[in-house]
Structure 1
């Protein structure tokens, strides 16, 4: 009898642990969250997103990064969408977000959703869905988006500046940044692969070219030929010149990892992937076409993981009527 009670107690404790893990990982999100309240949601979002991407495919990278920039600050709560007010500088105003584009896409998708399902779908969920659809529409990977997030009501520029991973981070700083929001080292190297699409600006690389350690030097990890190329494109203080992230910035592929392996990663944070055994191994595994499928699969998994960061569910937060303003 005593043994039976002991085993029952152990079972109940294990069950409690599993429940806690489920809550901490899933956090109340469900791919079928709007099945009854807005059953046509995914079609509406994809159709509205496609109208923009078909005309301007270059919007896909910033829409993907918008989701990333949202989730790393206060969790995936749509706070990156809020406008500044007379008394508060919102996340949009932070330097890392000043080059974000595509807010008009989110507004248009929200408007289309509101016409069919008023007051039901959060802006945070729309950001997550649009990021997936934008990537898929340019023939990138697809994944099931967990839904049920609610919108936050706070957005502070200084938090974005302090919490977003910086292109100037080394591998130790990057790992700490991702770990702070519950993401793994593998998530770090996989999500870095999102740099396979889109462009950046000289402001993100100039320190590597002209003042790497504060002594007017260059980053020794850069391939010399690539360094010379970047110096021809960027001049000290240049904040406007556009740079490609890899050799095929319009195509979602594994070329990013080839670029990094050749010491031609644009950012210090890209080059840092060669400074850790786990991240370097992943880079090396994706140097041939055979690695495309595994990268696509991994990217979907890591995007789901990222989409769970600090979400507001249940009665927390709100469902904004307009994404740029609290109700």
Structure 2
């Protein structure tokens, strides 16, 4: 396309999940409910971990950071989507769109790295239980959390910078509920070859590298557990790891389905539905998955409720 046909884009129009007016109120109520559950559940996890001294261990420090990442991850997209449902324009500024892209990628990557850190924690706890306090010290735990945050921001900066180099035509309508990479690339007037290449090389290395590390960690864990003679001990260990594996399966399954496939085969309709799974549903389910299968979290919650009852009723 000739340069003279390009027009500067100051804003985008987010078309959302549905353009049917009769579906707007049910969608608003559904996503408001899921967002409320997400914020409440993850905030409760963070509060429990901070208030209960017995949860001041690497496992729960990682879990607390994961809960914080889930809150920020969902807050990047859902409030704007809820606002746009009843907005006549459904617009987002160009810089606002890039900012949303940046924080979306950042918190998605942060969750990715934290899940890998949690797998390493479980590996050390199960395969080297007597050396656990010496290996996974508070200093190492803090360094791992800091590294997760730094790598996430670097990863997001690169992809957002590349997105900022694209030129967009007069058609500024994004068929999605937020400024996701593939829907934005589809409406660009310029070549997206390098953007696609970086998603499917650097992105694959970052996401699949962490997934490979998680799989390797659990392969070692399963091998160690199978050597345990008592069946009850095996079940207790598998149960403790089951919550983490459930989150990993949902998060990586949906993430891989959306991004690690050719852009030509990307379906906007399917992509929107699958994206909801890892941007809204998974962060909402995480507090329940981790707390319902975790005796220490449930114990800390009961103790917290008893303290509240005592202070309330004397």
Give TM class, smaller chain: under 0.3
Would you tell me which structure has more helix in proportion to its own residues? 2
Q: Name the structure, 1 or 2, with higher relative contact order (CA <8 Å, separation 6+).
A: 2
Provide TM-score, normalisation by structure 2: 0.25
